[in-house]
Amino acid sequence: MTERKPLYKSPDQPGRRGFEDLECYKLALHVVTDIQEMVKRLPPEEKFDLTAQIRRSSKSVTANIAEGYGRYHYLDSLYKYSIARGELNETLSHIINANVLGYIDHAMFESLYSLIRETEQTLNGYMAYVQRQRAGSKEYGDKAIREDVVAYFLNDEDKASDTSNETK
């Protein structure tokens, strides 16, 4: 793990911390900036494919960490953090593709790979911490809230053949 210069510093407000103070967020922000530099090396024909996808997935990591931090119940937070982790792995997949296709050199690939894995490890640690704290469970319990399954019909024939909606 290398020491990185902070890209962003929260305005000084004593006693107040936000998502931008989380180590996993800071690392994810480095992923975004490093990806922005990397995509400049991709060929023009990848502008609307690999370039757009990798930029979107890397930015989604920081957005989901921020959104998870803003949720009250720990299960809601963990849901968003798991999405962030998925987006981080999607970003890694795009990096692997860029390397295999010869768009980036091995040194850049290794640097991005290490940063993404470090970010993932830090995010996993934070998720474990959130799980242990169980914020909101006292007020709302530990059960996840789920919606009932909704049946969608394309035409009246499908509706007529569905017996699950019949009253008994």
Q: What pTM, to 2 d.p., does this model score?
A: 0.77
pLDDT digits (tens, 9 = 90+) for 33-64: 999 999 999 999 999 999 999 999 999 999 99
Which of 36, 29, 40 has its CA nearest to residue 5? 29
Q: Which domains does the chain have, with CATH numbers?
A: 19-161 (1.20.1440.60)
**Tens of pLDDT, residues 86-145:** 999 999 999 999 999 999 999 999 999 999 999 999 999 999 999 988 877 777 776 665
